[in-house]
Structure 1
Amino acid sequence: MITSLDPITVTGNPGKAPTVKADWPIKIAKTTSKVLNAGSGRTVDASATINVNYVGINARTGKSFDSSFSRGSATSFSLDQVVTGFKKGLQGKKVGDRVLVMMPGTDAYDSQGGASQVGINKGDSLIFVVEIKGTSYKTAEGTAVTPAAGLPGVTVKKNIPEVKIGSAKKPASLVVQPLIKGEGRKVTAKDVIQVKYRTWSWADDDLIEDGYDGNGVSGQMSGVIEGWKKGLVGQPVGSRVMLIVPPDLAYPKGNSTPSIAKGDTLVYVIDILFADEASS
Structure 2
Amino acid sequence: MRLIWPALLVFAASCGLTDDGSLPVVTGTFGSKPLVTIPKGKPGRTPRITVLSTGTGRRTLPGDVVLADVDIRRWSGQPYMNTYDGNQPTTVVFDGRQVAETWRRSLIGRPAGSRIMLVSPAAEALAPNVPLTGVSPSDTLVLVFDILGGYPPDARLVGRTLPAVPADLTPSDRPRTLIDGSGAEVRAGSKVVIQYVAAKWPSRTVVDSSYRRGGPSAFTLKPGSVPPAWLDALVGQHVGSRLAVPAPAADGAGGPKLYVIDVLDTLTPEF
SS across alignment from 1:121? coil
Could you tell me which residue of structure 2 aligns to residue 36 of structure 1? 52
Aligned to 2:114: 97
Aligned to 1:270: 261
Q: Secondary structure at the match of 2:104?
A: helix
For residue 142 of structure 2, the aligned residue among 113, 117, 127 is 127
| Higher-strand-fraction structure | 1
Superposed, which structure 2 residues align to 1:184-195 within 5 Å? 186=186, 188=188, 195=194
Q: Distance in 1 between matches of 2:67 and 2:12?
A: 29
**CA offset digits 1:27-70 (Å, max 9, x no partner):** 11xx4424232211244576433235x46452xxxx3232899x
The alignment partner of 1:64 has SS state of coil
Alpha-carbon shift at residue 161 of structure 1 (Å): 3.7
Identity of aligned residues (%): 16
The CA deviation string for residues 248-278 of structure 1, in whole angstroms up to 9 with x for no partner, is x657xxxx989x9xxxxx6x5311357899x
Query: In the TM superposition, what whole-angstrom CA distance separates every residue of 1:211-246 from its partner, at most 9, and x where no partner exists?
Result: 2332257888657474x454223334x44323275x
Task: Give, as a single letter, the amino acid of the residue that structure 2 aligns with 1:271.
Answer: D
Q: Do the aligned partners of 1:50 and 1:77 also contact (CA within 8 Å) in 2? A: yes
Corresponding position of 2:104:
88
- Kept in 2, the 8 Å contact 1:49–1:76? The answer is no
- Once the two structures are superposed, the pairs formed by residues 1-280 of structure 1 within 5 Å of their partners are 3-6=12-15, 8=17, 9-10=22-23, 15=29, 17=35, 19=37, 21=39, 23-28=41-46, 31-44=47-60, 47-52=65-70, 54=71, 56=73, 58=75, 63-66=76-79, 76-80=88-92, 84=100, 87-92=103-108, 93-108=110-125, 115-116=133-134, 120-132=135-147, 134-135=148-149, 137-138=151-152, 139-140=155-156, 156-157=160-161, 160-161=162-163, 174=174, 176-177=176-177, 179=179, 181=181, 183=183, 186=186, 188=188, 195-198=194-197, 208-209=205-206, 211=209, 212-213=211-212, 214-215=214-215, 224=227, 226=229, 228-236=230-238, 238-243=239-244, 250=248, 269-272=260-263
Question: What is the one-letter code of the residue matched to 1:26?
Answer: G
Q: In the alignment, is the contact (CA less than 8 A) between 2:121 and 2:141 conserved in 1?
A: yes
Distance 2:56 2:180 in 1: 23
CA displacement, residues 63-122 of structure 1 (integer Å, 9 cap, x when unaligned)? 3232899xx9796431459x9466334322222223231323321369799543xxx433
- Structure 1 gap segments, 5+ residues each: 145-154, 261-265
Q: Contact conserved, 1:179 with 1:241, CA < 8 A, in 2?
A: yes
DSSP 3-state at the match of 2:89:
strand
CA distance in 1, matches of 2:244, 2:14: 50
CA RMSD of aligned residues (A): 5.4
Residue 150 of structure 1 corresponds to: none
Greater C-alpha Rg = 1
Q: Are 1:156 and 1:162, in contact at CA under 8 Å, matched by a contact in 2?
A: no
Provide TM-score, normalisation by structure 1.
0.53
Q: Structure 2: which 5+ runs fail to align?
A: 1-9, 94-98
- Are the aligned partners of 2:194 and 2:216 in contact in 1 as well (CA < 8 Å)? yes
Amino acid at match of 1:156: R
CA contact (8 A) 1:193 1:221 kept: no
Larger relative CO (CA 8 A, sep 6+): 1 or 2?
2
Q: Is contact 1:193–1:275 with CA below 8 Å preserved after alignment?
A: yes
